[in-house]
Structure 1
Amino acid sequence: MPLSTILVVLLILMLVGVGPYWGYSTAWGYGPSGLVGLLLLVVLILMLLGRI
């Protein structure tokens, strides 16, 4: 399995994990998930361009 596929799967799992689902994390808003989503978008674009 290529390294880029593993990276995308890990980023997707991180995106699911940082959502504000629990009581203590509701004050965080969508900042953490937005950051991981942005990283996922950058990695996907780099994969499509053939850079990774």
Structure 2
Amino acid sequence: MSLGTILLIVLVAVLVAGLPAWPYSRSWGYYPSGGAGLLVLVVVVLLVLGYL
């Protein structure tokens, strides 16, 4: 597998895990989705710079 495929799988897993699906996770706020957004931003910057 290429690095891009592995990153795509990890990002999808993080985005699904960040959804507030359980009652106790609703009080977490934007922390899980903010972390996923940060990962997406890093991957986009690496793609633009040509490292991926």
Instruction: Note whether the superposition's TM-score is higher than 0.5.
Output: yes
Query: Which ranges of structure 2 fall in alignment gaps of 5 or more residues?
Result: none
Q: Which amino acid aligns with 1:5?
A: T
> Aligned pairs, how many?
52
1:36 and 2:36 correspond: yes
- Spell out structure 1 runs of 4+ moving beyond 6 A: none
Query: Which ranges of structure 1 fall in alignment gaps of 5 or more residues?
Result: none
Task: Please give the root-mean-square deviation of Cα atoms over the aligned residues, in Å.
Answer: 1.5
* TM-score, L = length of structure 2: 0.74
Identity of aligned residues (%): 52
